[in-house]
Amino acid sequence: MYSRQMKKGFLLSFASLVLLLSAAEASFFFWFPRVFPTNFAMWMTDEALHPLLQASKKNIFPSHYIALLGDSYAAGMGDWATEAMNKPMARYSSADLLHEATGMDVVSFGSAGAGSVRGIVTEPVTQLTYLRKYINAQLESPEWVLIYFYEGNDLYDNAAYFHYSFPKLFDIDKQFNEKTYQQYLKEFAIERDETIRIAVANDRLKHWPLLDQLNQLFRLLIGLPQRSIVEKDTTFDPPWIFGGASTKSPGVINKI
């Protein structure tokens, strides 16, 4: 039998270990992205959390910000990133450069290799949906959106995506009908896309009390009001992304 003194010592050691690991985890969230933004942003984040962990903004949650949509270059990958890999503090992406030049928060929702449909529609909607549902229901929409399109690379990716997905919904002869194409984008890129359906309808977390407690701890650490994902389910129902396109400036959308 263990003595009472041994039990107390064990409990104190265990509690100290838990506190130490919790402090390390919290410090990692705030400290690491600022010290090693290049490697962290490119290789060490879950894409759903990626927008919150970028260094091109003043606080964790962006405010009055510019959103970048697209694939590789919007995500910050390319020649500059290759040159910056051995320079952890290098400002390698356009998000960093825009942030420094304008003083505004800049957030990239880009995803490497995604092509235009996924990079401009699916990934941004998925990430905003997830963040608003599980992290911060009051997360702002961007004030400005810059869309990246790199002709040679993106046309190839888009053609592959189109020929895989369009025939699943419509006759191929209707590919040049504008209304049909818009409907295809809406249905396939948003309503039927697996990643978005998972982000919007994933209720498995409700059956995992530990994850709910961790969610509340996370909110406490970053200063948000306590909100249980078990008690309240705030699904973000995104409007059709192209519905708010601005006619004042090509390539700019005011709202997502």
User: Could you tell me which residues are beta bridge partners of residue 208?
Assistant: none
pLDDT confidence band for 62 (50 / 70 / 90): very high
Between 235 and 21, the higher pLDDT residue:
21
pLDDT confidence band for 54 (50 / 70 / 90): confident
Q: Give the total number of structural domains in the chain.
A: 2
Token pair of 1 as six digits: 């039998």
86 & 178 share domain: yes
Do residues 189 and 122 lie in contact, with contact meaning Cβ atoms separated by under 8 Å? Answer: yes
pLDDT digits (tens, 9 = 90+) for 77-113: 766 666 666 665 566 678 888 898 999 999 988 887 7
2 & 76 share domain: no
pLDDT digits (tens, 9 = 90+) for 139-170: 888 999 888 888 777 888 888 877 777 787 78
Q: Which of 19-28, 52-61, 216-225 has the highest mean pLDDT?
A: 52-61
- For 48, residues 6+ apart whose C-beta sits below 8 A from its C-beta are 126, 127, 130, 131, 199
Name the pTM for this structure. Answer: 0.58
Give the model's pLDDT for residue 5. Answer: 76
DSSP class of residue 102?
H
Give the model's pLDDT for residue 85. Answer: 61
53 & 96 share domain: yes
Sheet containing 66-69, strands listed edge to edge, beginning at the edge strand earlier in sequence: 106-108, 66-69, 144-147, 252-253
Give the model's pLDDT for residue 84. Answer: 63
Give the model's pLDDT for residue 31. Answer: 62
Between 248 and 182, the higher pLDDT residue:
182
Between 9 and 192, the higher pLDDT residue:
9
Between 177 and 252, the higher pLDDT residue:
177
pLDDT confidence band for 201 (50 / 70 / 90): very low
122 & 23 share domain: no
Token pair of 7 as six digits: 């039990």
Residue 184 domain boundaries: 36-253
122 & 47 share domain: yes
Give the model's pLDDT for residue 149. Answer: 84
pLDDT confidence band for 204 (50 / 70 / 90): very low
- For 6, residues 6+ apart whose C-beta sits below 8 A from its C-beta are none
142 & 126 share domain: yes
Whether 207 shows a pLDDT value over 50: the answer reads no
As a whole number, the mean pLDDT across the chain is 68
183 & 228 share domain: yes
Whether 233 shows a pLDDT value over 70: the answer reads no
175 & 232 share domain: yes
45 & 161 share domain: yes
CA distance 193 to 186: 10
Q: Percent of the chain scored above 90 by pLDDT?
A: 6
Give the model's pLDDT for residue 114. Answer: 78
123 & 25 share domain: no
Which helix (H) or strand (E) element contains residue 230? none
For the residues 242-255, what does the mean pLDDT come to?
A: 33
